[in-house]
Amino acid sequence: MNDQQLLRYSRQIMLPQVDIAGQQKLLDARILIVGAGGLGSPAAMYLAAAGVGQITIYDDDQVDLTNLQRQIAHDTSDIGLDKVISTLNTLKKINPDVQVHARKARLQDELLFEEVATADVVLDCSDNFATRFAINRACVQRETALVSGAAIRFEGQISVFTPGINDSPCYNCLYQSDGEELQNCARNGVIAPITGIIGSIQALEAMKLIMAIGENLTGRLLLLDGLTMEWQTLRLKKNPACPTCGNR
């Protein structure tokens, strides 16, 4: 690290759990974010600010006026622009040292497995079950840590899956089918700060995984009710019969 980096990240480096060694791990890390919307925006912004060295973002959508209520990486002048380009511009303003790879595409098939294989941590910030199950399959096969978040209405949830470590369950252990595709923000609505809360926790969990500090959310599902501001924790176990990670 140079002097500017030591100054920029000084408030993190002074934490004994982080120190210079932890900050260097962040600088050397590569994170893959799938989705540049309500969850991907705050997650990417905090990871860039914290000094994650490489951030790759996939999204095939463009910025729409209805996005601006919660997708804070974009502003009014970005309407019509590719979300990944808008996000790249925002992250570069926050921290020009971070390498941001913006990919306008739906991440799937062999490309998905290739990107997951080269990432240290994957953040699932997508908004549909088909993509979530595909990301989970790739992470299980490549044994890449996955931080999965979701937000709708006043509700949020987040968990971490670490294939091959601590007998971790996978996303398919939690959800058994790829139904309920109508459960999205466009049809059900979402209050803006919920996406910020969950996306920020995704960033925190990713940083903890990279630095190997604290206790991550493997084996736990956090559920947030924003109306009552109550958190619930559900314990998750690996399903031996899971079609993705179970014993065969």
Q: What is the pLDDT of residues 174-204, one digit of tens each?
A: 988 655 554 566 677 899 999 999 999 999 9
Cβ-in-10-Å burial (0-12, 13-18, 19+) of 213 comes to middle
Q: b/e per residue, 82-115, with b = 16+ CB within 10 A?
A: bbbbbbbbbbeeebeebebebbeebbeeeebbeb
DSSP string, 209-220: HHHT-S---BTE
Q: Which residue has the tokens 């501001």?
A: 229
pTM for this model (two decimals): 0.93
Which residues of the chain are modeled with pLDDT < 50?
182
* Candidate list 139, 185, 242, 245, residue with the active-site label: 185
Distance between CA 127 and CA 157 in Å, rounded?
Answer: 13
Condensed to tens digits (0 to 9), the pLDDT of residues 42-75 reads 999 999 999 999 999 999 999 999 999 999 999 9
Q: What percent of the chain has pLDDT over 70?
A: 96
Is 245 considered catalytic here? no
88: Cα separation from own chain's centroid = 16
Domain residue ranges in the chain = 3-235
Fold of the CATH domain 3-235: Rossmann fold (3.40.50)
